[in-house]
Amino acid sequence: MAEGVPEGHSDETTVRRLWWAALDILQEKILVPIPTKGIWLASPLPALYEPKLLNQLEGWLWSPPELLSFESGQSTTLLPPGRSKSVESDCYTDCRIFRYLSLREEDGQDPLLIIITPEVQVALALQGDKNKRNLLMRSDPKTLSDILKMLDFRLNEEDPKQAKELRNSLASLGKLNNQDNLKDLFWPLLSERLASMAPSLTLQPILEHSEDSIASEFNSEVTLLEALTHEVRTPLATIRTLIRSLLRRNDLNDLVYNRLQQIDSECTEQIDRFGLIFNAAELHRQPVEASRLASTDLGSMLELLAPSWEQQLGRREVILQLDIAQDLPEVLSDSERLEPMLGGLIDQTSRALPPGGILFLQLRPAGHRLKLQILCQTSNRNPLKEDCSEERYSDLETVLSWDPNTGSLQVTQAATQRLLASLGGRLTHRRDSGITVFFPIVQGN
């Protein structure tokens, strides 16, 4: 992969930021929409962290023997090099198929990721000596073919059965549509992401608050907010990946297993919450076109997401109750973005509830719309009402607000309204009726 690439000049910290930025744009920009089939090969960690992406692709992971024994709960002597381990979807993981293989000492620890789908084929890696580090990205067919041949040879030596499965998986993808301009898309996107990850903060006196200076201040705030949310989500995603590796062990007692599940849930909750903040900031930069909206079964979505919300609220001893009418028509929205948005509403509205409180979700037809209503009650003895007051929150700027008593951060009501509007929804927030969101019904339903 490094053939013909100039020697790098980055230190370890800088090149790792390049790596994380590359993973971000690969999963958030390039592999969109999420492919329905494909494979990934990685070392020494899975690298991918998008659950829906992992759930569609088959994976092969080369890890150090120590990590393999740590994950399997066995000693290193019981897991010789070449022995693989498959993890199916009924395990506590988002991955459809996850195969573990052992790295050799001479392989080193530099990260490698290869993605092969019918529409996208790309390889990422870090290489170079100290302070001469470099990010490599290759998408040309010849290089990728050479890499896959080398990995097939290595895999065939260690585990012929796995080598055959990899060849079969590649063959099942059919004819690959190689994107000749992928590198021309990748590097500008990487530059944009790096700019948002590490904004230049220069304090200068402002003599006049002209419209241009106010706009510049606002853009700096949004850029900084995007950078901060990225810096929070990135390590949490890594922690969650490692936690899910631990959860595959067979020797965990119930207490340890439950604690690890709790850590996983907390990581996921915070990743989703800061992801929502990031989306609110990004919406200021590039408004989403209405053409992305499509038919969405909102009732089924609520029922599908309810168990995870119940688990989340249960940690705060808050009860979730659903009241969804039968045979509801579909609404016009964006299901991919609506799911985390609904989770954000649940999180925001439930934070004011004390233990024993109830969060009540009701979905009903309302003329040419569906009405989603979120009500709170502090206990079974109190009637449903709007107890989820946001008066304690102070707006930091147009996107973010915080509770000075607890330090809790959340998206402002104005930013929430903009996010929902981009999803086809109209938010109303009145003390006598709680939070209500109206979604337009798909015409013809």
Going by C-alpha positions, the residue among 185, 31, 32 that lies closest to residue 116 is 31
pLDDT value of residue 302:
94
Give the CA count within 13 Å in the CB-facing half-sphere of 196.
23
pLDDT value of residue 80:
27
Q: Is the same domain home to 63 and 32?
A: yes
Q: Is the same domain home to 125 and 168?
A: yes
Look at the chain and report how many structural domains it folds into: 3
Q: Is the same domain home to 234 and 367?
A: no
Asked if residue 36 belongs to a domain, the reply is: yes
Rounded CA-CA distance 247/227 in Å is 31
Rounded CA-CA distance 267/241 in Å is 10
Last residue of a domain, one of 173, 194, 215: 194
Q: Is the same domain home to 323 and 247?
A: no
Last residue of a domain, one of 194, 227, 262: 194
What the block records as the tokens of 168 is 């079969």
Q: Is the same domain home to 280 and 411?
A: no
- Residue 17 CB coordination number (10 Å): 19
| Cα 35 off chain centre by | 15
Q: Is the same domain home to 296 and 361?
A: yes
Give the CA count within 13 Å in the CB-facing half-sphere of 73.
9
Q: Is the same domain home to 106 and 217?
A: no
Q: Is the same domain home to 178 and 281?
A: no
Q: Which residue type is seen at 125?
A: A
Asked if residue 1 belongs to a domain, the reply is: no
Asked if residue 276 belongs to a domain, the reply is: yes
Rounded CA-CA distance 159/60 in Å is 12
Rounded CA-CA distance 407/318 in Å is 20
Specify the CATH number for the domain of residue 432.
3.30.565.10
In contact, 318 and 357? CB cutoff 8 Å: yes
Asked if residue 2 belongs to a domain, the reply is: no
Rounded CA-CA distance 268/273 in Å is 8
* Residue 247 lies in domain: 199-285
The contacts found for 241-246 with CB under 8 angstroms, 24 or more apart, are 241/45, 241/46, 241/49, 242/45, 243/267, 244/92, 244/93, 244/94, 245/67, 245/70, 245/71, 246/70, 246/71
Asked if residue 248 belongs to a domain, the reply is: yes
Residues near 409 by Cβ (< 8 Å), separated by ≥ 6?
277, 400, 401, 402
pLDDT value of residue 206:
37
* Overall pTM surpassing 0.85 (yes/no): no
Q: Is the same domain home to 342 and 407?
A: yes
Last residue of a domain, one of 285, 320, 354: 285
Whole-number Cα distances in Å, 219 to 199, 225, 274, 330, 409 = 11, 10, 19, 37, 20
Pairing of strands 121-127, 134-138: antiparallel
Rounded CA-CA distance 209/60 in Å is 55
What the block records as the tokens of 146 is 């050479």
Asked if residue 3 belongs to a domain, the reply is: no
Asked if residue 6 belongs to a domain, the reply is: no
Q: Is the same domain home to 33 and 178?
A: yes
Q: Is the same domain home to 189 and 274?
A: no
pLDDT in tens, the chain (445 residues): 877 777 888 888 788 888 888 988 898 889 988 888 999 998 887 788 777 787 788 888 887 775 555 444 433 322 222 323 333 333 333 445 567 788 887 888 889 999 999 999 999 999 888 888 999 999 998 999 999 999 999 888 888 888 899 999 999 998 888 877 888 899 998 888 777 654 433 333 333 444 444 344 445 566 666 666 766 777 787 788 778 778 878 888 889 888 898 888 888 888 888 888 888 877 766 665 555 788 999 999 999 999 989 988 988 889 999 999 999 999 999 888 888 889 888 888 887 788 888 999 999 999 899 999 998 887 655 544 444 545 455 555 567 776 666 566 778 888 888 889 889 999 886 655 568 999 999 876 5
Q: Is the same domain home to 53 and 187?
A: yes
pLDDT value of residue 125:
93
